[in-house]
Structure 1
Amino acid sequence: MDQTTYIFLLQGVGFILGVVAAHLAEKRLNIRLIMAMSLITGSIGSGALPWVKSYPYLASMFFMQGLAKGLVDYAALSICNKLWPNHRGLAFQFVTLGAGIGAFFIPFIARPFLATDTVTSQSNVKCKNPVSVGTKSARDHRSFCISPGHIEYPYVIIAILCVPPAIAFCYYFVKRKQFPLSENNYQQVEVGLMTSSRLHALMMTILFFLHIPVMSMPLAYGDLLTSYGVHGRWHLSRRHMATMTSVFWGAFLVGRVSNLALTNCAEQFYLLCINFGGLFMTSIILCTWTTDYEVALWIGSAGLGFFSSPFLPMILTWVSECACLTGSMISVCLCASGIGEVLVPVLSGWVFVHGGPQSLMYLIAGIVLCEILLFVALVLVARETKRCRDVIINEELVDDT
């Protein structure tokens, strides 16, 4: 388990470096080429990952996988931002919806290839890999018969799934390399106006801290939900909690689909307010009623998954209505999300171990409260930024006239 922790830490570091590398490379290379090469890197990393039984090799391949994910995430959002500057909300939601669907279905792809074990009496063991457990009494002695799995096959399947989009972006690069995607003139002017602005720097800072728990909080809660149910007051079975965890991630996916459907029907600001309000009510349920009612744990888990799902693309989309959404802003948000995915689950595990199961709910509530306060600060800064931008643009129009 200690070695596994370091592997996922390296994967998180690879993701952050991938985002930074993609942002820097975008200034010199075609973004479609970056996307194609990133997908090829991810395909090679996933396909080659499980075949060599060496810890340094395994850690290196997970690092490469994280690197490719960071490159792809940044390139996808950057391409959508440039292709649809006036309709980026729908495009951003599609990107994150695809990620949610992948996270939901990957366990079902992997399940048939996992190793299985059955318990038999020691006297009847006929399996190739018996592992004996129990007392020395022959009557109580048991053995796990472990059938070999083929966990390498899901990685190969994932590698194959990366090939068609890689080919597609190679095709787009070859056919349209004379027409690179670029910011429109209005955005370029605004970037020049806002780069040195204190408001712009303040907005970037708030966005950074706001995005640290955006994805890491659901990940931490999903990882510890089973432990909470098993070791908490209710002492529920692991099978029971596995179902609840599936409900949590199912609600997360439904939340992304619902917000995607509402993107063109309602303003992003109002959708954000609704989701933050729902998240606040959910955190209250988790803190106060889960110790007395099991149904509150079901409702709270589903609510947390549903209302925490849309923030990564939706906050960026709303900010773009008040200020220019640049590559730097996208990379800052993605890097913050990657840092959170490394730090918050570790913090949650430490709090759970030292403070008891219910401390997890208090931590979630504290994170939600911090998110709401940061969002309020972002609203105030964004409004002031929009006001200053409108004044500058009006002055330029008067000068041109």
Structure 2
Amino acid sequence: MWPIYSTVLLIAMLFLRGATTYYRVILGPTLLYLAHLVHQEVQDITFTYPALGGGTMLGSILASYVNRNLKQKLNGLFLQAALTLILSGTVVAVPWINQIWQLALIFVVIGINIGYVIVDGQCLVLRTWDPKTARVLMYLLYVMGSLGRFLAPAVADPFLAMSHEDKAVSKCSQDENFGNKTVYRSEEIATSKFDPAGWSYIIFGIVLFVVGILHIVLGCIKADEKTYEVLSSSDDVVKDKQTEEPLRDVIWILIPLFSYCFCSTASSLLYQDMIYAVAKCSFLDFSTSDAAWVTAVYSIGLAIGRFSGILFARHVKPNYVVFTIVSGALIMMVFMISVARTWPTITWIVSFFYGFFNGPLIPAAINWISEVINVSGTYAFIFALGGAAGTMSLVPSAGALFHLSPFYPIYLMCGVSAFNVICICLIWIAAKMKKIKKSESEHELISKETPQDTYDTIQNHPLQKPNGHVNGE
């Protein structure tokens, strides 16, 4: 039975994960609103996403450094509380910004918080709970992220309906034709009236403020340190956690793992951020409300996929889960490209199942890789770092493709899903080679340290120990 402060700590972690994901995802449904707010085009907004990715990198590296070197000296909950309160004040100010550099600054703050929360939560789970429980909690963290993803379009929808989205301000219109190239842009209407879409930021800014205060309380009682001490002394927790291996021994796993996270996070965020604008502005021709709810359907699929991961975490090996989901995601994108033009309604089906297969991509990989190498210390940042790199490069690319034709980002997502299949194959090969090399090293060590006559006896009688006793006696 967990102590009460451990349960409250887990609840606080889950709420923070959901709230920060909400603010990462709300950028998608309100993309046209933000473009109008700073008097820019959609493609110009997406080119500020490197600021979000850069912030995520900083946050993930900070969390990795704190967990590796400062967890005994620095109160990690106070640091999380400070970041959360800063984020709360920043997002509440969103409706009053009018410059694109201000939006980029907000992206940096959101990114730092997301990067830190993701990595710090993963480290705490992996080093505190036993492997089977950690698998479940890892999926639970991502389920809360899915809840934040679902709430973003659900909360934004009624406010967008009251805002300029249903007026002439942010509708997609064909302004210029250059041969076969159509440029879509947001019409600008000068107004000083408060846009109701801003409430989708203000409401959860208040939620983040409450979560930040809760982290201060938990930090005062040092709930994270007490949880680690109590659960680490429990018989249910594995005492001998993996030691960190030198970079030269794991680099061939980290490189394809980085690429996998690059593709996995980017493909999920690309769909979340772009499907609203794609559904509204492309030949799919969805209404404002339908386009917002397509995003919600994707989030529902994402949540169900991650919840399914919880159900299978204790019974199915993570590598089997990974191979299944990367293949399913690719099939969905091929299906979207092949059928959507003649049957736009297929977008609803693809949105759900693409979310379903994208849901377990990262938690399944973490659970799998944690069985191969230690990713709760120095190498913990690799997941967020790969995801941030994907966000910094692929989201602006999708924005540029959207400028050429609103449906082109879907082709990019298909290519990313295909490359992800290659990445997971490379990880599997590298893990196999590492396992073989480790077995050979252990065999050589036994040969060197054990006298030849005793070694021969062990080989001939595997149940007999060197001291003459037989297992079980």
Same fold (TM over 0.5): yes
Out of 43, 60, 82, the position equivalent to 1:19 is 60
Q: Quick one: which of 80, 83, 86 aligns to 1:38?
A: 80
1:196 corresponds to which residue? 248
> CA separation of 1:230/1:51 partners in 2, compared to 1, >3 Å: closer, same or farther?
closer
Q: 1:10 aligned to 2:51?
A: yes
8 Å CA contact 1:252–1:308 kept in 2: the answer is yes
- Give CA deviations for 1:42-84 in whole Å, capped at 9, x if unaligned: 1233135535957677755553343232222111111111012
Q: Supply the AA of the counterpart residue of 1:196.
A: R
Assess if the C-alpha contact under 8 Å between 1:16 and 1:70 holds in 2: yes
Question: Which runs of 5 or more structure 1 residues have no equivalent in the other structure?
Answer: 120-142
Is the contact between residue 50 and residue 391 of structure 2 (CA under 8 Å) also seen in structure 1?
Answer: no
TM superposition shift of 1:328: 3.0
Structure 1 residue aligned with 2:428: 379
Paired residue total: 373
Indicate if the aligned counterparts of 1:322 and 1:383 stay in contact, CA closer than 8 A: no
1:297 equivalenced with 2:347 (yes/no): yes
Change (3 A) 1:113 1:168: farther
Counterpart contact for 1:212–1:336, Cα < 8 Å: yes
Mapped partners of 1:220, 1:384: distance in 2 = 33
Say yes or no: does 1:359 pair with 2:414.
no
User: Partners in 1 of 2:393 and 2:227 — Cα distance?
Assistant: 40
> What does residue 102 of structure 1 align with?
148
Query: For residues 306 and 222 of structure 2, what CA distance do their matches in structure 1 show?
Result: 28
In structure 2, the residue matched to 1:126 is none
Residue pair 1:206, 1:378 contacting (<8 A) in 2 also: yes
The more displaced of 88-97 and 108-117 is 108-117
- Listed as ranges, the matches of 1:119-134 within 5 Å are none
**Contact between 1:213 and 1:344, CA under 8 Å: does it hold in 2?**
no
Check the 8 A contact 2:50/2:393 in 1, yes or no. Answer: no
What is the rounded CA distance, in whole Å, between the counterparts of 1:320 and 1:118 in structure 2? 47
Letter in 2 for 1:369: A
1:86 aligns with 2:141: no
Measure the CA separation in 1 of the matches of 2:419 and 2:156.
Answer: 36
Is 1:282–1:300's contact at 8 Å kept on the other side of the alignment?
yes
Whether 1:256 and 2:306 are equivalent positions in the alignment is yes
Say if 2:452 is the partner of 1:392. Answer: no
Using the alignment, how far apart are the partners of 2:349 and 2:369 within structure 1?
A: 31
> 1:175-254, aligned counterparts within 5 Å?
176=226, 179=229, 185=240, 187-188=242-243, 191-192=244-245, 194-197=246-249, 200-254=250-304
| Equivalent position of 2:364 in the other structure | 314
The Cα of 1:317 is off from its aligned counterpart by: 0.9
Q: Of residues 318, 340, 346 in structure 1, which corresponds to 2:390? A: 340
Match of 2:397, SS? helix
For the residue of structure 2 that corresponds to 1:187, the secondary structure is: coil
CA shift, 1:391, in A, is: 3.1
Counterpart of 1:324 (choices 374, 391, 403) is 374
- d(CA) in 2 for partners of 1:180, 1:360: 49
State the TM-score, normalizing by the size of structure 2: 0.69
RMSD: 3.5
CA separation in 2, counterparts of 1:154 and 1:186? 38
Taking the aligned partners of 2:228 and 2:322, their CA distance within structure 1 comes to: 39
The aligned residue for residue 186 of structure 2 is: none
Distance of 1:174 and 1:239 partners within structure 2: 43
SS at match of 2:373: coil
**Structure 2 regions of 5+ residues with no counterpart?**
1-34, 166-189, 233-237, 451-465, 467-473
2:146 is matched by which residue type in structure 1?
A: G
Tell me which residue corresponds to 1:72: 117
Q: Which residue of 1 aligns with 2:457?
A: none
Q: Percent identity?
A: 18
- Scaled by the length of structure 1, the TM-score of the pair is 0.80
Larger RCO of the pair (alpha carbons < 8 Å, separation 6+): 2
SS in 2 for 1:317: helix
Native 8 Å contact 1:19 1:73 kept in 2: yes
Tell me which residue corresponds to 1:158: 208
**Do the aligned partners of residues 180 and 11 (structure 1) sit closer, same or farther apart at CA in structure 2, a change above 3 Å counting?**
farther
Q: Which residue identity is paired with 1:26?
A: N
Contact 1:11 1:65 in 2 (8 A): yes
